[in-house]
Amino acid sequence: MEIEGYLKKDYITNLVKQDKREDARKFDEHRKILVDNDYVKDKAPGSCFVQLGKTKVLAGISIAVGEPFSDRPNDGVMSTSTELRPMASPRFESGPPNDESIEIARVIDRGIREAGAIDTKKLLIEDNLVWIVFIDIHVLDHDGNLIDAGGIAAMSALLNTRLPKYEDGKIIYGEYSGKLPINCVPIPCTTAKIGKNLLVDPSLNEEYAMDARLTVATTDIINAMQKGGTGSFNEEEIMACVDAAFEQGNKIRKMLSTD
Amino acid sequence: MEIEGYLKKDYITNLVKQDKREDARKFDEHRKILVDNDYVKDKAPGSCFVQLGKTKVLAGISIAVGEPFSDRPNDGVMSTSTELRPMASPRFESGPPNDESIEIARVIDRGIREAGAIDTKKLLIEDNLVWIVFIDIHVLDHDGNLIDAGGIAAMSALLNTRLPKYEDGKIIYGEYSGKLPINCVPIPCTTAKIGKNLLVDPSLNEEYAMDARLTVATTDIINAMQKGGTGSFNEEEIMACVDAAFEQGNKIRKMLSTD
Amino acid sequence: MEIEGYLKKDYITNLVKQDKREDARKFDEHRKILVDNDYVKDKAPGSCFVQLGKTKVLAGISIAVGEPFSDRPNDGVMSTSTELRPMASPRFESGPPNDESIEIARVIDRGIREAGAIDTKKLLIEDNLVWIVFIDIHVLDHDGNLIDAGGIAAMSALLNTRLPKYEDGKIIYGEYSGKLPINCVPIPCTTAKIGKNLLVDPSLNEEYAMDARLTVATTDIINAMQKGGTGSFNEEEIMACVDAAFEQGNKIRKMLSTD
Amino acid sequence: MSGNGDVVLIKDGKRLDGRDFDELRDIKMEVSVLERAAGSAYVEWGKNKVMVGVYGPRELHPKFLQDPTKAMLRCVYNLAPFSVDDRKKPGPDRRSVEISKVTSEALSSVVMLERFPNTVVDVFIEILQADAGTRCAGLTAASLALADAGIPMKDLIASCSAGKIQGQVVVDLMKEEDNFGECDLPMAIIPKKGEVVLLQMDGKLSRDEFKDAYKLAYDGCMKIYDLQRKTLMDSMKKFVGEGGIENGD
Amino acid sequence: MSGNGDVVLIKDGKRLDGRDFDELRDIKMEVSVLERAAGSAYVEWGKNKVMVGVYGPRELHPKFLQDPTKAMLRCVYNLAPFSVDDRKKPGPDRRSVEISKVTSEALSSVVMLERFPNTVVDVFIEILQADAGTRCAGLTAASLALADAGIPMKDLIASCSAGKIQGQVVVDLMKEEDNFGECDLPMAIIPKKGEVVLLQMDGKLSRDEFKDAYKLAYDGCMKIYDLQRKTLMDSMKKFVGEGGIENGD
Amino acid sequence: MSGNGDVVLIKDGKRLDGRDFDELRDIKMEVSVLERAAGSAYVEWGKNKVMVGVYGPRELHPKFLQDPTKAMLRCVYNLAPFSVDDRKKPGPDRRSVEISKVTSEALSSVVMLERFPNTVVDVFIEILQADAGTRCAGLTAASLALADAGIPMKDLIASCSAGKIQGQVVVDLMKEEDNFGECDLPMAIIPKKGEVVLLQMDGKLSRDEFKDAYKLAYDGCMKIYDLQRKTLMDSMKKFVGEGGIENGD
C-alpha cells in the first residue's frame, strides 16, 4: 500500500468509528449510479458505461461464432475479462491480467453464469456452431468497488445486446437478428468490513481501510459469493452482507432496463 | 542514449555545420551498397545479404502454403519481420520484437505491400489455399539506417525468389515451379535532419545527432512514408526528402537485378 | 552458487580426496531407490513416484489423441516435460521452463525416444489419428541427480501405463483398452567428476562440488549421452562412465516391473 | 455447477460413495514430508492428493516489493498436468491465479507477518491428484506446512466445502457432485475465533439453504481442525510440546 | 488501402456521409473527464471515441532507465476489445506498438521534458470506439490531457489525416474510405511553428497528389487546433487565464 | 535419428556427397567479419553458414546476477527463420535453449573468467543456413570470435561430430545422414589438454562403436583446431604475433 493508502486508512477508520462516511452516505447505501447504455453502439452489439460515484467502467459486448464446448454441444459460450487500464489508477500497469483483475472478472462471471442470466440454450446456430458472448470490462477510473461497478455495467450491457445477423457462414456487422436472450438479472453487492462496521459499496479510501470484503451476487436467490482481504467475518456479519445484497440487488435491478 | 551517443552527437553536429560528413559523402548520397543475392540458397527460396556502408543485413524469404484472409480469398499473403540480433549492436537484446524492430518491419512492409510489389493475385494455389511469403530481415551489424538496408535486401531477395514445387498437398523442398511474380520494385529512402541540414542515408553516428528522420518509399509514385524522431520538418524539407527518395530510388533500383 | 553451495563444495571436495562420500556410499553406487507405481492412479493412466535418496520426483503420464507428425504418419507421438517445482528447492522459481529444466527433460526424452522404448508404431488409432503420450516429470524435492531420478520415474510409469478406451471420437476417462506397448527399458546413469574422482549418482552437495557430469542412457547399447558442467573428461574417464552406466542400468532395470 | 437433473447423486438417502449428507471423505494428513522445504505437509482427502512446501521468511526480491511493516505471504496453487483426466497444460491459468490469491489472503489472517518485515513467506501448493475440493485440501495442508516450518501463527486455518446436490445441502463434494450438483461453497475458518477467512460460492442457494450450507461447511472445518491438531501432535510431539502453535489473542 | 474500384465512395461531388472533400467529421472535445489521472481528455471524432489519461512527471522504475537530462515520455495506445467490429484480443499488437511509438515522439517534441530529469510522463490513450483516424484523435486528445495536467508544453499538438478516394484527395477519412480508398496520410503538427511532428503514409500518391494531401491534412490540423484551444478556454478558464500553456520560443 | 533402412547413404564405400568415412566437409573460416562486435567470426561448414559476434567483458545487469569471483559467459544460439527448409518461428525453442547451455559450458572451460569479476561475456551465435552439425560449427566459430575479441583463453575449443549411417561409423554428418542415420555424436575438446568439454549423443551405439565414433570425432576436432589456428594466423598476424592466445598451463 502506498503512503496515500496509509494516510487514508487512518482517516477513514476514525470516521467510521464515529458512524460516518467521507461522502455522508449511510452504511447500507451504494453511491449514485449512472448508467449509459449503448455507449459504443456503432461497433459493439451491446455496451454500457457506468459511473458508481467517481468510479467509471465501460462494459462492451462482442459476439462471435464458434464451436461449443464438447460437454455442452447445444449451449452458447460466454467469457468475461476485466482490464484494469493504467489510466484508471497510478497503481495499475500495462500488461497481462494480474490476480486482481482476474479475481474481479471471475467473480462477475460467476454471478452471471451461475444465475443462468444469458439463455445459452438459445444460442445454438446450427450443429456444432454457437454464439460466443464476450464480456469485456474496461476500468477507466478507479474510485473503489470495481466488482459492483463492473457487474452492473456487464449486466446492463447484456440486457441491451443485439445478436448480429449471420448469413452464409459470416457475421454481417452492423445488422442484427434480434436480442440476446436474457433470463434474469444478477447483481453483485460488495460490503466492506472496517473494524466492527459493515459498509456497502466501499470507495477507494474505504478499501484502503477495510479488513475484509464480501461480495454476494443475487437474483431472487444467491448465485455467487467471494470473500476478499486478510480479515475475517463471523456468521452474523455474513448474513448481514447477504441481506444487504438482496436489498441492494432489488434496488439496482430496477434501475436497469432494456431500450 | 549511451555516453558514446552523446559524444558522437557533438562531433557529427559540428561536422554537419561545416557541410561535411564523417565519410566525406555528399548530403544526398547513400553509402556504398553491396548486394549479394541467394546468400542462403541451399535452404531459402530467396535471400539477399546487403551491406550499406558498414551496416549488414540479411533478408531471407520463406514460402509456405495456407489459407487466405477471409476478406481476400483469392490473394496470397505476405508477412514481414525484422530481428535486431544482439550481435548487431551492444544496445540490442535477445527477446521478442520491441518498438524499434516493429517499426522497421512495418515501414518496410508498407512500402512493398502498398506498391503491390508482390503480385499476390497470382499466388492462389487452389480454392482456399494460397502461397504465404515470409520476409525475415536479420540485422547483423548496425551502422545506421536499417530501414533502407532492410528494404533493399527484402526487395532484392523477392526479385530472386523461386516458388517451391507443391504436389499432393506438400511442399517439395529444394525443387521449384517458377519465380515469385513481382510487379514493381519499391525502394525506401531515409533522410535525417541534423540542425537545418538534410542528410540522405544516415550512419549510426549521424542517427545519434539527428533530430528527426523521414523515410519515403517510392516506385514511380510514393507508396509509404514514415517520420521518426522527436524533431519536426517543415513543408519544404518534406518535399526535399520526397525528391531525394525518387532520385535515390531510381539509382538503387538499377542496381537490383534478377538472376 | 549460493553461500551454502560454496561451503558444501569445500566439504565434499575434501571428503572425496579421502575416498569418502557423505552418506558412506561407494563411488559406483546409486543411492537407495524407492519406486511407487500408480501414485495418482485415479486420474493418470500411468504414474510413478520415485525417491532416489532424498530426491523425490513424480512422473505422470497423460494420454491424448491427435494428429501424427506429417513425416511419420503412422507413428504415435511422445512429449516429455520437466517441472522444477519451487517447493523442491529454494533456488527454483515459478515460471516457464528454464535452461536447467529443459536440459533435464530433453536428456530423459532422448534416452526413451532413441531406444524406441515406446512402440510408437502400435499407437495408430485410425488414418491420421494417433495416441499422444505426455510424460510430465514433477520434481518435488531436490537432493541431486534429477536426470536419473526423473528418467527412472518416467520409465517405470510408462511400463505401467494403460491406454484409455477410445469410442465415437472420444476418450472414455477411467476405462482402459490395454497397456501402452513398451519395447525396452532405457535407464540413465549420471556420473560426476570431482577432482580426479568419478562418483555415480551425485547428491546435491556433490553437485556443488563437481567439475562436470556425464549422463549415459543405456539399454543393451548406448542410446543417449549428455555431458554437463564447465569441466572436462578424458577418454578413459568417459569409458568408465559408460561402463558404470551399463552396470547400473542392469541393476536398476531389474527393480522396475509391470503390475 | 450444471445442476443437471438427469444424473442421480443421491440414492436411498446416501450419496454415490455411500456417505451421509454431513459426512466427510476419508482424510489422511502428514507433515515433514519434504527434505529441502522449511516446512511441508501432505494431505490425502478422498481422491485428492496435495503436497505443500513452505520457504521463508526469506529476503524478498526485487527490493521495491518489500514492506518495512511486515512480511509478504505469497502462495502458488498449482495443478500438476497429470492430476486431472484431461492433461492440464503446465503454467498458471486464471482459476489457479484466483485460488492462489484467496488462499494467500486466508493464510495471511493468522500468520504473524508483522514479526518479519521486508521478507517473504512462500507457500507452494501442488495438487498431484484432483477430485473436487482441492482448494480446501490445499489450504488445510498449507496451514500444517506453516506450522511444520515453525512459523508463528495465531491459529491454524481449517477448510472444508459444502454444496447442494439434487436439492439437498451436503458437506464436502466429490468430483461427480461438483460436476452435476447445484452449488459449491468452499470455506475456511480460524477455528479458535470462529470466523471465516475464505468464502466463495457459485450456483443456486436460497437464503435458508445458505444458512444450512454454512453450518455444514463450518462443522466440516472443525472436524478438519481436529485432524490437523492430531496430526501435529502425533508427528511433531516435540514442536507441540514446546507450545509451538502460538496463541494470538 | 485496397483501392477497390467497385465501391462507390463519391456521389454527386459528396462523400458517403455527405461531407465535402475538405470537410472534417463532427468533433467534440472535453477535458478533466477522469478523477484519478493528473490530466485527462475525451474526444469524439465522427464515430471515434477516445479517452486519454496522463500521469506524471513521476519517478521512473527501474532506475537504470532514468535519464538525468530529461523526463521520458511514455505512451500507450490501446484499442478496447469492443471498439471494432471483430473483437480485438486484449494486449498490444504490432500496429498498437508502432502507433504508441510515433505518438510518443510527436508529443515529446513539445513537452518540456528537460524540466523533469529522471522522471516519466505517462500518456494512456484508450480507443473506446474506432472508425478510422484513431491515431489522430488519440494524439489530439493526448495533447489536451497533457495541458489539463498542467505539464509545461511549448504548444499543443494538433493532428488530422488526409487521403485519396476514387482518385480524389480528401481530408479526414472515415472507415469505409479507409477500407476502400487508395491512400491514408495521418499527420500532426506544432501549429505555432507550422512544422510536422507525425507523418505516415501508405497507399499510392503521385508527387502532386501528395502536395494536395499535405495541404488538406495541414489545414485540418489547424481546424483541430482551434477546437483544442476553444476546449481549453471553455473548460479551463482558470488554467488558461493564468497563461497555462507556455510559450516556448 | 530415424535409422530408416530404406534410404541409401553409402554407395561404393563413399558417402552421398562423395566423402570418405573419416572425411570432413569443406570448411571456410574467417574472423573480424563484424564492425560493432568486440570480436566476430564466420564459418562455412558444408552448407552450414554461421556467424558469431562477441561482446564484453561488460557490466552485468541486473546486479544480483553478478558473481564477484568471475565473469559470467552467456551464450545465445539462434536459428534464423530462413536457415531451414520449413520456416522456423523466431525466438528460442527448447532445442536452442539446450544448445546455448552446453555451448556456454564448453566455452567457459577455457575462457579466463576469473579475471573479470562481476562482468558478462556475451557470445551470440547466428545460424544463417543449417545443414546438420550447426552446434559444432557454432562452437568452433564462437571460439574464433572470442580470440578475435582478445579475450584471454587457455586454449581454443574445437568441435566436430561423428555418427553412424547404415551401420558404419563416420565423421561429420550432413543433413541427409543426420535425418536417416542411426546416431549423432557431437563433441568438443580442449585440444592442448586432449579433454572433452562437450559430448552429446542420441541414437544407437554399442560400446565398441562408441569408441570408434569417439576417435573419429576427436580426430575431426583436431583437424578443426588446425584450421582455426591457421585462420587466426592468416587473418590476425598482428594479434597472434603479440602472443595473443594465452597459454593457460
Nearest CA in chain E to A53: E35
Nearest CA in chain B to E76: B99
pLDDT per position as a tens digit, E37-86: 999 999 999 999 999 999 999 999 888 889 999 999 999 999 999 999 99
* pLDDT band at residue F63 using 50, 70 and 90 as cut-offs: confident
| Whether pLDDT at F242 is above 60 | no
Rounded to a whole number of angstroms, the distance from the CA of C235 to the nearest CA of chain D is 36
Whether residue F81 and residue B62 make contact (CB cut-off 8 A), yes or no, is: yes
Mutate which: E202, E204, E211, E222, vs B, most B CBs within 10 A:
E202
Mutate which: F26, F36, F45, F52, vs B, most B CBs within 10 A:
F36
Chain C residues inside the 8 Å CB shell of D128: 39-40, 58, 138
State whether residue E217 sits within 8 Å of chain B by CB.
no
B 216-255: CB under 8 A from E: 221-235, 238-239, 242-243, 246
pLDDT per position as a tens digit, F173-223: 999 999 999 999 999 999 999 999 999 999 999 999 999 999 999 999 999
Whether residue E206 and residue B222 make contact (CB cut-off 8 A), yes or no, is: yes
Q: Are strands E195-205 and F14-15 parallel, antiparallel or unpaired?
A: unpaired
pLDDT per position as a tens digit, F133-164: 999 999 999 999 999 999 999 999 999 999 99
Nearest CA in chain E to A171: E86
Burial category of F230 from C-beta neighbours within 10 Å (exposed 0-12, middle 13-18, buried 19 and up):
exposed
State whether residue E32 sits within 8 Å of chain B by CB.
no
pLDDT of residue A173: 85
State whether residue D193 sits within 8 Å of chain A by CB.
yes
Please name which of A33, A159, A20, A139 lies closest in space to residue A83, comparing C-alpha atoms.
A139
pLDDT of residue F248: 39
Please compute the mean of the pLDDT values over residues A106-122 and round it to a whole number.
97
More confident residue, C13 or E1: C13
Whether residue E131 and residue A42 make contact (CB cut-off 8 A), yes or no, is: yes
pLDDT of residue B70: 87
Chains near B with 3+ CB pairs less than 8 A apart are E, F
For chain A, the domains span 3-253
* pLDDT band at residue F116 using 50, 70 and 90 as cut-offs: very high
Angle between the D134-148 and D94-108 helix axes, to the nearest 10 degrees? 40
Chain A residues inside the 8 Å CB shell of E92: 94
Chain E residues inside the 8 Å CB shell of B103: 97-98, 101-102
pLDDT of residue E157: 98
Nearest CA in chain D to C63: D87
3-state DSSP assignment of residue D218: helix
Chain C residues inside the 8 Å CB shell of D34: 56, 87-88, 140-141
Chain D residues inside the 8 Å CB shell of A234: 194-196
3-state DSSP assignment of residue D65: helix
Chains near C with 3+ CB pairs less than 8 A apart are D, F
Whether residue A234 and residue D210 make contact (CB cut-off 8 A), yes or no, is: no
Please compute the mean of the pLDDT values over residues D224-233 and round it to a whole number.
97
Please compute the mean of the pLDDT values over residues E6-17 and round it to a whole number.
92
pTM of the full structure: 0.95
Nearest CA in chain B to F56: B90
pLDDT per position as a tens digit, F6-28: 789 999 999 999 999 999 999 99
Whether residue C141 and residue D49 make contact (CB cut-off 8 A), yes or no, is: no
B vs E, Cβ pairs < 8 A, gives: 89
Q: Are C74 and C128 in contact (CB under 8 A)?
A: no
pLDDT per position as a tens digit, E73-112: 999 999 999 999 999 999 999 999 999 999 999 999 999 9
Rounded to a whole number of angstroms, the distance from the CA of C249 to the nearest CA of chain D is 26
Please compute the mean of the pLDDT values over residues A136-145 and round it to a whole number.
98
Angle between the B99-114 and E94-108 helix axes, to the nearest 10 degrees? 110
| Whether pLDDT at F106 is above 80 | yes
Whether residue F81 and residue B60 make contact (CB cut-off 8 A), yes or no, is: yes
3-state DSSP assignment of residue E125: strand
| Whether pLDDT at C259 is above 70 | no
Closest to B99 (Cβ–Cβ): which among E101, E108, E109?
E101
Mutate which: D207, D211, D218, D222, vs A, most A CBs within 10 A:
D207
Task: Extract the residue ranges of chain B whose pLDDT is less than 50.
Answer: 1
Rounded to a whole number of angstroms, the distance from the CA of D167 to the nearest CA of chain C is 28
Q: Are E123 and E54 in contact (CB under 8 A)?
A: yes
| Whether pLDDT at D135 is above 50 | yes
Whether residue C58 and residue D90 make contact (CB cut-off 8 A), yes or no, is: no
* pLDDT band at residue D248 using 50, 70 and 90 as cut-offs: very low
* Stretch among E135-144, E172-181, E235-244, F107-116 having the lowest mean pLDDT: E235-244
* pLDDT band at residue D240 using 50, 70 and 90 as cut-offs: very low
State whether residue D176 sits within 8 Å of chain A by CB.
no
Whether residue E214 and residue B238 make contact (CB cut-off 8 A), yes or no, is: yes
State whether residue B40 sits within 8 Å of chain F by CB.
yes
pLDDT of residue D98: 98
State whether residue B79 sits within 8 Å of chain F by CB.
no
B 113-132: CB under 8 A from E: 113-115
> What is the distance between the alpha carbons of residues C25 and B244, in angstroms, rounded to a whole number?
79
Q: Which domains does chain D have, with CATH numbers?
A: 18-239 (3.30.230.70)
pLDDT of residue B255: 94
Rounded to a whole number of angstroms, the distance from the CA of E17 to the nearest CA of chain B is 24
> What is the distance between the alpha carbons of residues C116 and E235, in angstroms, rounded to a whole number?
76
Whether residue D210 and residue A242 make contact (CB cut-off 8 A), yes or no, is: yes
pLDDT per position as a tens digit, A158-200: 999 999 999 888 888 888 989 999 999 999 999 999 999 999 9
Chains near E with 3+ CB pairs less than 8 A apart are A, B
State whether residue C134 sits within 8 Å of chain D by CB.
yes
Rounded to a whole number of angstroms, the distance from the CA of C141 to the nearest CA of chain D is 6
State whether residue B56 sits within 8 Å of chain F by CB.
yes
A 137-176: CB under 8 A from E: 138, 140-143, 173-174
Closest to D85 (Cβ–Cβ): which among C88, C138, C173?
C173
Whether residue C234 and residue F195 make contact (CB cut-off 8 A), yes or no, is: yes
Please name which of E23, E28, E33 lies closest in space to residue E45, comparing C-alpha atoms.
E28
Q: Are C106 and C40 in contact (CB under 8 A)?
A: no
Closest to E124 (Cβ–Cβ): which among A81, A85, A142?
A85
Whether residue C232 and residue F190 make contact (CB cut-off 8 A), yes or no, is: yes
3-state DSSP assignment of residue E241: helix
CB atoms within 10 A of CB E13: 8
> What is the distance between the alpha carbons of residues C121 and C213, in angstroms, rounded to a whole number?
34
Mutate which: E66, E192, E201, vs B, most B CBs within 10 A:
E201
pLDDT of residue F5: 62
Please name which of B101, B96, B98, B99 lies closest in space to residue B81, comparing C-alpha atoms.
B101
Closest to E195 (Cβ–Cβ): which among B99, B105, B232?
B232
D 220-239: CB under 8 A from C: none
* CATH H-level, domain B3-253: superfamily: GHMP Kinase, N-terminal domain (3.30.230.70)
Computed over its alpha carbons, how large is the radius of gyration of chain D? 18
State whether residue F96 sits within 8 Å of chain C by CB.
no
Whether residue E109 and residue B238 make contact (CB cut-off 8 A), yes or no, is: no
What are phi and psi for residue A43, nearest 5 degrees? -120, -40
